Amino acid sequence: MPLSCPRCRTLNPDVAHYCRQCGLRLEVAGGAVAGAGRIRHPNPLVSAAATTAVAGAAHLHFGWQPVGGGAPLLSTEALELTVFNGGYDLANVVLRVRGDGDAGQPLFAITRDIEMLARGQAASLEIPSYELPGPLHTLHVELVSAEFGAQE
């Protein structure tokens, strides 16, 4: 059965390791679903040291802090979430963001969209204080879906 490239949609033999049209590596380690944001780039860019990998994604990393930077004063300030892309250009990125309190209890779960996230670029998203029901201890970010941006 032919294998469709998730980036350019070219049909490739089912034993292909790379797309014969655009050269995208068609294998994904660990049995993960192939697709935009999940396929590893052959030369990934390195993100800042104080970032965390986005779950279910290849080369997406995030960091967070109170809006305006520094330490939180009241523990309920709005948050700035920064997502860095070290892989392929992505478009229509949908992220699931979940926050846990000090005791590990779930505080909130929301989705955020990023229209375009080019290779080597970062996008900043704000989570308003009214979406934070209490002091945040841990933030989790997961890739829900994405499309390939400009062909590389």
State pTM to two decimals: 0.82
What burial letters (b/e) apply to 18-57, b meaning 16+ CB within 10 Å? ebeeeebebeeeeeeebebbbbebeeeeebeeebeebebb
Give the CATH number, domain containing residue 129.
Answer: 2.60.40
pLDDT tens, residue by residue, 46-76? 987 889 999 999 999 999 998 877 766 666 6
Q: What is the mean pLDDT of the chain?
A: 87
Range of the domain at 131: 43-148
Instruction: Note whether 62 and 117 are same-domain residues.
Output: yes
Per-residue pLDDT band at 22 (split at 50, 70, 90): confident
Instruction: Note whether 59 and 95 are same-domain residues.
Output: yes
Higher pLDDT, 121 or 77: 121
Could you give the number of structural domains in the chain? 2
What's the confidence (pLDDT) of residue 29? 58
